[in-house]
A and B are shown apart, each in its own frame.
Chain A
């Protein structure tokens, strides 16, 4: 038995004589492989049509640059050609996935400024504040609150998922302590407005889906928990606790997935509708929502958004300089909501208690805020921000300051 095996082995060895010129063999093989690769990718590139838009990256891809003397002379033609070849490279998305997977294999725990956490959680990395702008904003908010002491002024800043879900953050990642940031902001502002800290309550629910895995926003559930904490300060006595929950998407691949290129999971999006006395299963479109340029809808939700890339825009269609929401209530309460995109999914919890809600996003707002406040007879003001956006904001101070 052993003999025959040995014989077989020697036979095999005899069949394959040693190479005379190993260098030549290697060079030959390499050359063949390389030529095939070049041919394959060039031919595939020629026969497949150029892609105009990348859904994964949410941007238009570079197109074949047109040749002009001026572009050739200032070097922009060659630059454009380089991005064209990279953007339109055959199977681009697979190459990007390969790169992200190689990075993970090598032990990287972040990609393009996104933490790749446990259980496929993708998290925005908490930022270090730009102290000059932060102090400007804090002072502007404080002055603003002083000017409006006749009104109810409330503020909350929502920490990011990397801090709240710290046990999901990458191993040894030095996640900024956003509760300290929150405390610092509270200390600055608590004298003239009601600053409500929310880190603790969100931490208590950190085992629930209060943040999306693939997006930098919080979910309706997270917003609900914060609403429950804020209700009292907003003067809402008997907040509704009964909600009708609809899952409107199970294919949400959010901003963090795009930014990191890490596409291993998708999220569900839920909307939560408070069961008010006039709540009806059939008719949910009981609002007048006014957008800039005289566009009007009658729902807080945009169903077209679910077909688009950024499905989070299902909440009020995304960010606009100003959105006015007229409800069926007649109670004299008018809320001014000064906000970033975190507030978009928070509004659904506020509508039962106000006659009108005016949302202003200072990043796109260029009108006089004080005029709006007196014209609309604002009674309540809520600042609602995400911590990262707030710490990096450069537009709040300008909008709030009166010259």
Chain B
């Protein structure tokens, strides 16, 4: 189910909250699980099988590991863990990378194996990473295996996070499984985050997406240097507001149910290096890779060559995780390279000047998004050529100004929105402890919600012209 839909907001969410808070304490987790499974299977119930199988498989694997842990049978413990990890990775690989893999085999050997596209189960990349962290944490004795199937299933399928994260480590979730009573402050606070995220997604991200599409599909004769940069900037803003908006909605929804999900974005675009950017962007994925890949490989406490290997491997995997296509792989390797350069060459230089380091970072990030968003190397070169005026592209034209004036306000809002400014305003309003300013802030949230709703209702707007033009 789409958490930005009218049905979700006006029917599903109220029913969820009412039933969750009305049922007796002992059944709250079961109700939440049921709701989560309905949520997950809403658009396409076929995916549910994969999720349920993954839950059952990992539940029993974990119990098995727990058994060997108590018997101190390290050899068997390790082999069960490896079996569990391989199985999860294979399932993910089968659904996500099978088509891509065969495609490339075909190209490489000039053969023609038929590719049967498998539908990608929703959120499989996210819940697979959740269960992998679960198995490893048991192996590391960070937490015992969950004996209650309902609790474990809820960890994997908890509806606010099942489709797009944040990726939550099991230990953080298990602490919260003891049941929550209704606390209006929690619900109201969650609501606030949800509305913030909704507005980011609907009022900003969706608009930047249109701008990016429009500018990207301009005929070559209408392109300009400025419009090419604007297109990339629009994508940069779109992906941030889309993803961070979604994360914020997820965190807000979980909070309404009394759960705390980890923060996923911390103003990544004001970072002063690419290294810092990745500590602030999709933080739960970054910390997952650090915890379960980078550090087990030795992290940076190894020789330079091994460190380079570790970094490049982690970033190769990060790239692959984002999707089964070469552009994601190149994008991952690009960051691996930049991070190594920052570590071994100019990282310290960046610390000297705030402005230079910020400009440097945003350019690195934008070029990263260029790789991320381009379907082929030639698409990247075409974009770069028009961005740097190679081949007689003019600096700006009428079309450029048309789009600039149409989106100026949203771009300004977007630029302010990537900084902590609005959050600081929020804090100031609360610190004033003044009724009126707080009522005012609530009215602003109301307006954001109503405005987003107008765009949601409008999404099915279409007018059928009389049989013809």
Give the B-binding residues of A (Cβ under 8 A): 16, 18-20, 22-31, 33-34, 37-38, 41-42, 56-59, 62, 72-75, 78-79, 81-83, 85-87, 89, 92, 95-96, 98-99, 102, 106-110, 112, 124, 128, 170-174, 216, 255, 258-259, 261, 309-310, 312-313, 318-319, 340-341, 361, 363, 386, 388-389
Given A58-B465, A73-B45, A388-B469, check contact A106 B433 (CB 8 Å): no
**A26 touches which one: B43, B44, B441, B458 (CB < 8 A)?**
B441
Residues of B contacting A33 in the complex (Cβ-Cβ under 8 angstroms): 442, 445-446
Q: How far is the CB of B241 from chain A (nearest CB, A)?
A: 15
Please judge, given known A-B contacts A96-B458, A99-B454, A99-B458, whether A171 and B405 are in contact too, CB under 8 Å: yes
Could you say which of A19, A312, A319, A388 has the most chain B C-beta atoms within 10 Å of its C-beta? A19
Which chain A residue lies CB-closest to B450?
A98
CA distance A79 to B2 in the complex (A): 10
Contact indicator per residue, chain B 425-438, by CB within 8 Å of chain A (1) or not (0): 00001111111001
The complex places the Cα of A59 from the Cα of B184 at a distance, in Å, of: 43
Q: B75 at the A/B interface (Cβ < 8 Å)?
A: no
A25 touches B466 (CB 8 A): no
Q: Are A82 and B5 in contact (CB under 8 A)?
A: yes
A-contact bits for B451-462, CB 8 A (1 contact / 0 none)? 101111111111
User: How far, in Å, is B17 (CB) from chain A's closest CB?
Assistant: 10
**Cβ-closest chain A residue relative to B404:** A172
B402→A78 contact, CB < 8 A: no
The answer for the CA separation of A86 and B11 in the assembled complex, in Å, is 12
Q: Which chain A residues border B186 with CB–CB below 8 Å?
A: 27
Q: Is B117 an interface residue (CB 8 A)?
A: no
Minimal beta-carbon separation of B443 from chain A (angstroms): 9
Do B222 and A340 have beta carbons less than 8 Å apart?
A: no
Specify which chain A residues have a CB less than 8 angstroms from the CB of B191 in the assembled complex: 27, 30-31, 34
Complex: how many Å from CA A110 to CA B210? 12
Residues of A within 8 A of B441 (CB): 26
Q: Is the beta-carbon distance between A42 and B10 smaller than 8 angstroms?
A: yes
Contact between A29 and B464, CB atoms less than 8 A apart: no
Inter-chain contact B461/A57, CB cutoff 8 Å: yes
Nearest chain B residue, comparing its CB with the CB of A35: B14
Cβ–Cβ contact A30 & B10, under 8 A:
no
Contact between chains at A340 and B2 (CB < 8 Å): no
Q: Is there a chain A Cβ closer than 8 Å to B67's Cβ? A: no
4 cross-chain pairs, A with B, having the tightest CB-CB distances, nearest first: A27-B188, A258-B463, A95-B457, A18-B433
The answer to the question of B355 belonging to the interface, with a C-beta cut-off of 8 Å to chain A, is: no
In the complex, the answer to whether A57 meets B462 with C-beta atoms within 8 Å is yes
Q: Contact: A174 with B402, CB < 8 Å?
A: yes
Do B463 and A58 touch (CB < 8 A)?
yes
Select which of A16, A96, A108, A216 is within 8 A of B457 by beta carbon: A96
CB distance from A176 to the nearest CB of B (A): 10
Residue of B nearest to A33 (CB): B446
**Residue from the list A29, A102, A109 in contact with B442, Cβ < 8 A:** A29
- Interface membership of B421, Cβ < 8 A: no
Question: If the complex has contacts A31-B188, A75-B44, A102-B454, are A174 and B222 also in contact, measured as CB distance less than 8 A?
Answer: yes
> Which of the listed residues A20, A73, A95 has the most CB atoms from chain B within 10 Å of its own CB?
A95
Q: B467: CB under 8 A from chain A?
A: yes
Smallest beta-carbon distance A341→chain B, Å: 6
For A174, what are the chain B residues with a Cβ–Cβ distance below 8 Å? 222, 397-399, 402
Q: Are B463 and A56 in contact (CB under 8 A)?
A: yes
A107:B461 contact, CB within 8 angstroms? no
Q: Looking at the assembled complex, report how far the CB atom of A120 sits from the nearest CB atom of chain B, in whole angstroms.
A: 17
B7 touches A82 (CB 8 A): yes
Q: Is the CB of B184 within 8 A of A31?
A: yes
* Contact call B408/A107, Cβ cutoff below 8 A: yes
Q: Are A102 and B466 in contact (CB under 8 A)?
A: no
Which of B407, B455, B467 has a CB less than 8 Å from the CB of A318? B467
Which residue of A27, A86, A112 contacts B192 across the interface (Cβ within 8 Å)? A27
The reply to whether B44 and A312 form a contact with Cβ atoms under 8 Å apart is: no
In the complex formed, the residue of A with least CB distance to B456 is: A86
Chain B residues with Cβ under 8 A from A89's Cβ?
6, 457
B residues less than 8 Å from A216 (CB atoms)? 469
Is B350 an interface residue when CB atoms closer than 8 A count as contact? no
Give which listed residue, A37, A102, A341, contacts B468 with CB less than 8 A.
A341
Bin chain B's interface residue count: 35 or more
CA distance A109 to B408 in the complex (A): 12
B141 contacts across to A, CB distance below 8 A: none
Least CB distance, B176 to chain A, in whole angstroms: 19
A112 with B461: in contact, given A18-B433, A82-B5, A107-B407 (CB under 8 Å)? Answer: yes
The residue in chain B whose Cβ has the minimal distance to the Cβ of A91 is B457
- 19 inter-chain pairs at a CB distance below 8 angstroms, sorted by A residue, are A18-B433, A22-B429, A25-B438, A27-B184, A34-B449, A37-B449, A58-B464, A73-B46, A82-B6, A83-B460, A95-B453, A95-B458, A98-B451, A106-B409, A112-B461, A112-B463, A172-B401, A318-B466, A319-B466
CB atoms of B189 and A75 under 8 A apart: no
> B188 contacts which chain A residues (CB < 8 A)?
26-31
CB distance from B200 to the nearest CB of A (A): 15
Asked if B86 CB lies within 8 Å of chain A CBs, one says no
Given contact pairs A75-B44, A82-B7, A107 touches B435 in the complex (Cβ within 8 A): no
Across the interface, A172 reaches (CB within 8 A) one of B405, B410, B430, B469, namely B405
| B406 CB–A CB distance under 8 Å | yes
A-chain residues with CB within 8 Å of residue B464 when the two chains form the complex: 57-59
Task: Give Cα A196 to B467, complex, Å.
Answer: 28
Distance in Å from the Cβ of B195 to the closest Cβ of chain A?
A: 8
Whether A22 contacts B431 in the complex (CB less than 8 A), given A31-B188, A85-B7, A87-B460, comes out as yes
Of A31, A79, A361, most B-chain CB atoms within 10 Å: A31
Give the shortest distance, in Å, between B208 (CB) and chain A (any CB): 12
Nearest residue, chain B, Cβ from A89? B457
With beta carbons under 8 angstroms apart, the residue of B185, B429, B432, B446 that contacts A24 is: B185
Of listed B187, B406, B407, B408, residue having the most chain A CB within 10 A:
B406
Pick from B2, B185, B435, B461: contact of A16, CB under 8 Å: B435
Q: Are A86 and B6 in contact (CB under 8 A)?
A: yes
**How far apart are A363's CB and chain B's nearest CB, in angstroms?**
6
- A99 neighbours in B (Cβ, 8 Å): 454-455, 457-458, 461
Nearest CB in chain A: distance from B207 CB, A: 8
Task: Determine whether B42 belongs to the interface, using a CB cutoff of 8 Å to chain A.
Answer: yes
CA distance A24 to B192 in the complex (A): 12
> Complex Cα distance A207/B462, Å?
31
A20 to B435, CA, bound (A): 10
Question: A74 CA to B43 CA in the complex, in Å?
Answer: 8
When C-beta atoms are compared, the residue in chain B nearest to A29 turns out to be B442
User: Which A residues touch B42, using CB under 8 A?
Assistant: 75, 78
Q: Which single member of A82, A85, A310 contacts B466 (CB below 8 Å)?
A: A310
Q: Given A82-B5, A102-B454, A174-B402, are A22 and B433 neighbors across the interface (CB < 8 Å)? A: yes
Q: Does B469 contact A341, Cβ atoms closer than 8 Å?
A: yes
Complex Cα–Cα for A87 and B460 (A):
7
Which B residues are in CB contact (< 8 Å) with A107?
Answer: 405-409
Q: Could you tell me the distance in whole angstroms from the C-beta of B236 to the nearest C-beta in chain A? A: 19
9 more A-B residue pairs beyond the given contacts A29-B188, A62-B460, A310-B465, with a C-beta to C-beta distance below 8 A? A23-B185, A26-B430, A33-B442, A75-B44, A106-B406, A107-B409, A172-B402, A261-B458, A319-B466
- The answer for the CA separation of A228 and B5 in the assembled complex, in Å, is 55
